[in-house]
Structure 1
Amino acid sequence: MSNSTSGVTQSGTSSSSGTMAMNSNNTTNTPEKVISEQLQENLDYLEKTFSNSTDIIFRHWNYGPDLKYAACSVYYESLVQEDTVNYMKISLQDLATHEIGPGMDVTPQDIRTFFEHDGVSSKKAVVLNDLELVVEEISNGRLLILFDQWDKGLGFKAESVETRQVNESVNESVVQGPRESTVENLQKNLGLLRLRLKTPKFKLERITSGGDTKTTVVYGYIEDAVDAEVLAEFKKRIEQIKELEILETSYIEQLIEDSTYSPFPQHRYTERTDMAVAGLLAGKIAVLSQGTGGILLCPGLFTEFFQSSEDYYQRTLIATLVRWLRIVAFLIALTLPSIYIALSTFHPELIPTVLLLAVLNAREGIPLPAFFEALLMEFFFELMREAGVRLPKPVGSAVSIVGALVIGDAAISAGIASPIMVVVVALTGIASFAIPQYNIAIALRIMRFPLMISAALMGGFGMMICLLFLLLHVCKLRSLGQPYMAPLAPFRLKELRDVIMRAPLKTLLRNPRNHLKHKPLFNQKNED
């Protein structure tokens, strides 16, 4: 009996883990095709289901004395490690040589009893009783084993797909601070978050999308930090979309956002685990999906798009000045071309005389009005930026820089654009690059053109009307039901310490469960 146990242990599983996994699956999947005790019936169903798939493997083998009992392993060779298959094959071959006792053979009933009650294995396994679940587990990269005369299947975790290693973030590079970023492996990303949040209050809930993708989506939050109403609203929306095809977290962003046609992003993205943890501590909900190298933070407020993780690794004064610089860059990227159009077309009296003469000299001989000149240069700038992104990385940066120099110089030499217009467009583009979050910079690229049109039609008055409509829109906008412009509108004085300026960490780092929440961390006498 000890020999038999030793042989089966390498490929078995504990009864608790197998039963729990089976019960978990049964709660969400109603059995539609029960596994038959006749192995051939099960294989006929699977062969029909996986027909015309060249990477599906059906490996038949026998076990027990005289090899008189049949079994079959089914797996995708494109998803399963070959060494795992070999390991399972060697382990299960032990069943062919071991005996329970004198004159007694290993039967399917013995295997069933072992796996459902006594089995222990170094390979995690689940016990399945539904062929639909078998198909799903094979598609998820498991190695499935079916036995003749047993109406159950064994699923062993064996998925092996190459992914990126944890490396430095590409889109959120910093000078000071952690450099690790998320990858396309969901389990690695969850592990990186767990390493930073060592508390049972960090909850993770898992759903599986519908359709053919069956993408695994996990959302997490800190139990006593997240707002209960926000969490309830998020769960309500995620339940409404979980039956849809979801390939990436950006699908979730677009499906749960409040205003689909708004140019402003209503949720934040990050590749940095420290940024994600900071958001969780602030009451955000983090959404991750298999195959996506980024984390979605919900809800996203307008003021948060000007924050960077490096703000909290620098001293207060430096971080505050940099944040002011980003706000100025936002205003420049949004309004500079339209201000130039309005001043040069409708309000030349507002320009100092010396500067006005310089503008007039620069525009002498330009055949296009200021609006069409700005529109043409903005179009070429956006075209070069898009080309630089789409080209291979070693070539893209060179093309965008050389293209800007060549086209700018050629436009001035040909008399199509004035030098001051080239300067305005270049400053606008550089200012948009200074904003940490890429998706808010895209919104600026869109909003520049309505402002330019309004400035060309009615000058400063038209600009003011367009800006007022823009302000009304962002004040009306919501993210998971929360005001998008909070804490500016509605105005919340206590929350402004991390908006326009970055307050000292001693006032920011407070235990949310501490009743002395609004008192400084240290005694004011010891600040020096």
Structure 2
Amino acid sequence: MSATDIPIAAELADNLRAVNEAFAACHDIVVHPYRYGNSLSHDMAVVYCETLIRQPDVSIVKSVLLNLVREMPGETEIASVDRIAAFFERGGASYKPFELLNGIGQAVRSVVEGRMVLLFDGWNKALGFDALSIERRAVTEPSSEAVISGPREGTIEDLHTNIGLLRVRLSTPEFKIEMYETGTHTKQKFVLGYLQNVVQPELLAELKRRVSVIDRTEALDVTYIRELIEDAVYSPFPQYRITERPDVAVSSLLEGKIVIMMEGSGTILICPIKFTELFQSAEDYYQRTIISTLVRWLRVIAFVIALTLPSLYIALSTFHPELIPSNLLLAMLDTREGIPFPAFVEAVLMQFFFELLREAGIRLPRPIGSSVSIVGALIIGDAAISAGIASPIMVVVVALTGIASFSIPQYEIAIALRILSFPLMIMAFFLGGFGLMIGFILILLHLTCLRSLGQPYLAPIAPLRPLQLFDVIVRAPLKERFRLSKRRKFARPD
């Protein structure tokens, strides 16, 4: 019989033997024997994990127990095990900071979750006292979603803190939090959060169905859950949104979406999403409507540039030079004189070097990472031109492509553009403008077929939902946005 199946015995020695067997070779587990009562005639033991409880003070057990079971005014002696058992068995643990445990498995689980477990001789129950005190990162501004105006708070790796950051902004009982657990060994807790009077019941039921089948998966972060529940695993486009901003999560909840948060994860997963939302930033709603609208259009233009500019240059210079103005064509031919590679090889090499620099800038320590990216790009570009490996016009094209990809708020969609630019360059090299057109159509077809939690990814464009377009093409004024009750019309089944 495993420790998880053993009930707690009335004999303390039997319980300690089972606990020691369960925690064999766990040197951070402390088992502290203790005596209490009038003549110190009662035996008990305190079990805890010293790496989860930084400064355990066993004397707190005596004072807490004394306060918990004291029934008569002026009573000062500590209670016997009979009174302790009677107090908790008739419901005392339901409103006190203790948990009543019935089995060795429960006791072991409580210890590894950061509780002090109290075992008593003569009582076939145990008490779990929450004493978790590990260090946590403070709530700071999220580095990946920095804004000029708006809240500066970001999520951290503590589930209760993250829930509190949302709860303080949603002071309503309609904000529901449902707890789940995944993993045979990790036992990671994660929650689904939603507004009951706003969320579509079909979406909630579908998400619950998907998370119900991952209970044995060793998930360490919400990104694990994202991959386990998404519709198209091999698509380069994100089907769910990751954010570190509580205000973004709350805004999504008000639109009828569902958030997923996990213990130990510093991000929030939002589902479902629409492709158009990947061009939106939290700052859009903290600025004036006209400014946010123009910035959104700029991001869409940057998306097209980052996706098609290198392949467009290859197609024009290789297959369709007649479409280039004469003066520009002569300048391009002059700069390409002496270059030993065709435009395709030149573009692939420069894109590859640029991606290496970008990755190096991310992986290096932050103080020098940005310097390496900028200085490295300048040095490699100048060296490539001087060595006759690349033309100045190609360096400009690659630089514009990189800058355009940085203009997109969501990092994951920028990665998708970087991946897709290479097959587009290949198609442009072999088929010219027709290849570029075919590649663009294939990407559009793929986006049309994608689903986010079963909902159309390109909505409200395909299928067309006119009422929701008002906050896609432009950033709708807040009074119009609320008047149309857009949040209650999200993801209506077709």
Which category of TM-score, normalised to the shorter sequence, fits these structures? over 0.9
- Whichever residue aligns with residue 363 of structure 1, its letter is R
Q: CA shift at 1:99, angstroms?
A: 11
Which of 210, 213, 221 aligns to 1:237? It is: 210
Q: Given the alignment, which residue of 352, 356, 369 partners 2:342?
A: 369
Aligned to 1:521: none
Query: Is the CA contact (8 Å cut-off) linking 2:36 and 2:78 kept in structure 1?
Result: no
For the residues of structure 2 that align with 1:132 and 1:267, how far apart are their CA atoms?
36
- Number of the residue aligned with 1:354: 327
Match for residue 343 of structure 1?
A: 316
Alignment of 1:84-233 (within 5 A): 85-89=58-62, 91=64, 106-117=79-90, 119=92, 124-233=97-206
Q: Deviations over 1:358-408 (max 9, x none)?
A: 111111100000000000000000000000100111111111111111111
Question: CA separation in 1, counterparts of 2:74 and 2:237?
Answer: 73
In structure 1, what is the Cα distance between the partners aligned to 2:464 and 2:109?
50
Q: Return the offset for 1:88.
A: 2.4
Letter in 1 for 2:137: R
Q: Does 1:68 align with 2:65?
A: no
Kept in 2, the 8 Å contact 1:168–1:180? The answer is yes
Which residue pairs with 1:264 in the alignment?
237
> Is structure 2 residue 293 aligned with structure 1 residue 327?
no
Tell me, in whole angstroms, the C-alpha distance in 2 between the residues paired with 1:455 and 1:181. Answer: 43
Which residue does the alignment assign to 1:45?
A: 18
SS class of match (1:196): coil
For 2:388, the aligned partner's letter is G
Q: Cα RMSD between the aligned structures? A: 2.5
User: For residues 362 and 73 of structure 1, do their structure 2 counterparts lie closer, same or farther at Cα, with a shift above 3 Å needed?
Assistant: same
> 2:65, 2:78 within 8 Å by CA — same for their partners in 1?
no
Q: How does 1:479-498 map to 2 (within 5 A)?
A: 479-498=452-471
Quote how far apart the aligned CAs of 1:210 are: 2.3
- Alpha-carbon distance in structure 2 between the residues aligned to 1:472 and 1:403: 37
Q: CA deviation at 1:351?
A: 0.2
The 1-side partners of 2:155 and 2:335 are apart by 49
Structure 2 residue aligned with 1:10:
none
- Identical pairs, percent: 56
Q: Which residue in 2 is equivalent to 1:21?
A: none
Distance 1:49 1:326, change over 3 A: same
Evaluate the alpha carbon distance shift between residue 101 and residue 318 of structure 1 in structure 2; reply closer, same or farther with a 3 A threshold: closer
Residues 2-23 of structure 1: CA distance to partner in whole angstroms, max 9, x if unpaired? xxxxxxxxxxxxxxxxxxxxxx
Cα distance, 1:230 vs. partner?
1.0
**Counterpart contact for 1:98–1:106, Cα < 8 Å:** no
Shift in Å at residue 101 of structure 1? 12
* Cα offsets for 1:243-287 (capped at 9, x unmatched): 211100000000000001111100001111111000000111000
Question: Counterpart in 1 of 2:492?
Answer: none
1:506 CA drift (Å): 1.2
Structure 2 distance, partners of 1:138, 1:301, is 43
Deviation at 1:32, TM superposition (A): 2.2
Asked if 1 retains the 8 angstrom alpha-carbon contact of 2:46 and 2:117, the reply is yes
Pick one of 424, 429, 435 that aligns with 2:397. 424
Q: 1:344: Cα distance to partner? A: 0.5
Q: CA deviation at 1:109?
A: 1.3
Give the Cα–Cα distance (whole angstroms) in 1 for the partners of residues 226 and 22 of structure 2. 34
Q: State the one-letter code of the partner of 1:481.
A: G
* Contact 2:255–2:486 (CA under 8 A) maintained in structure 1: no
Amino acid corresponding to residue 444 of structure 1 in structure 2: L
Correspondent of 2:286 among 300, 313, 319: 313
> CA shift at 1:183, angstroms?
0.6
Give the secondary-structure state (helix, strand or coil) at the position aligned to 1:66.
coil
The CA deviation string for residues 88-113 of structure 1, in whole angstroms up to 9 with x for no partner, is 25545899x999999x9943212111
User: Is the alpha carbon distance of 1:31 and 1:403 closer, same or farther for their aligned partners in structure 2, counting shifts above 3 Å?
Assistant: closer
Mapping for residues 274-285 of structure 1, pairs under 5 Å: 274-285=247-258
CA distance in 2, matches of 1:397, 1:344: 33
Quick one: which of 431, 448, 459 aligns to 1:475?
A: 448
Which residue, 442, 456, 469 being the options, matches 2:415? 442
The TM-score with structure 2 as length reference comes to 0.94
Q: Per the alignment, in what secondary structure is the counterpart of residue 168 of structure 2? A: helix
Q: Check the 8 A contact 2:93/2:100 in 1, yes or no.
A: no
String of CA shifts for 1:155-192, please: whole Å, max 9, x gaps.
01110111111111100011111111111111010001
Displacement of 1:117: 3.4
- Counting matched residue pairs gives 486
Matched position secondary structure for 1:286: strand
Amino acid at match of 1:235: K
1:464 alignment partner, one of 420, 425, 437: 437
Query: Which amino acid in the other structure matches residue 39 of structure 2?
Result: D
What is the letter of the counterpart of residue 39 of structure 1?
A: L
Residue 56 of structure 1 pairs with residue 44 of structure 2: no
CA contact (8 A) 1:208 1:216 kept: yes
In the alignment, the residues of structure 1 paired with residue 22 and residue 271 of structure 2 have an alpha-carbon distance, to the nearest angstrom, of 39
3-state DSSP class of the match of 2:45? Answer: strand
Checking the alignment, whether the CA contact within 8 Å between 1:302 and 1:484 is kept in structure 2 is: yes
Query: Which of 198, 201, 225 is residue 252 of structure 1 equivalent to?
Result: 225
**One-letter identity of the residue aligned with 2:453:** L
Q: Does structure 2 conserve the Cα–Cα contact (< 8 Å) formed by 1:63 and 1:93?
A: no
Counterpart-to-counterpart distance in 1, 2:79 and 2:285:
64
> Does the 8 Å CA contact 2:28/2:49 hold for their aligned counterparts?
yes
User: In structure 2, what is the Cα distance between the partners aligned to 1:186 and 1:205?
Assistant: 12
* Structure 2 residues without counterparts, runs of 5 or longer: 490-494
Residues 94 and 470 of structure 1: CA distance in aligned 2, closer, same or farther (over 3 Å): closer
Aligned equivalents of 1:393 and 1:106: distance in 2? Answer: 58
Aligned with 2:106: secondary structure?
helix
Whole-angstrom CA distance in 2 between matches of 1:98 and 1:276: 47
User: Would the aligned equivalents of 2:9 and 2:123 in 1 still touch at CA under 8 Å?
Assistant: yes
Q: Higher mean Cα deviation, 155-164 or 74-83?
A: 74-83
Amino acid at match of 2:134: V
- Cα 1:451–1:514 change in 2 (3 A) is closer
SS across alignment from 1:261:
coil
Determine if contact 1:225/1:512 at 8 Å carries over to the other structure: no
1:489 and 1:82 map into 2 onto residues whose CA distance is 58
For 2:113 and 2:421, locate their aligned partners in 1 and report how far apart those are by CA, in whole Å. Answer: 46
**Alpha-carbon distance change, 143 to 514 in structure 1, aligned in 2, over 3 angstroms:** closer
How far, CA to CA, are the matches of 1:118 and 1:458 in structure 2?
77
Aligned equivalent of 2:51: 78
Distance, in Å, in 2 between the alignment partners of 1:502 and 1:121 is 49
Q: Which residue of 2 aligns with 1:397?
A: 370
Aligned counterparts, 1:296-311, within 5 A: 296-311=269-284
Match of 2:385 in 1: 412
Structure 1 distance, partners of 2:288, 2:105, is 57
TM-score normalised by length of structure 1: 0.88
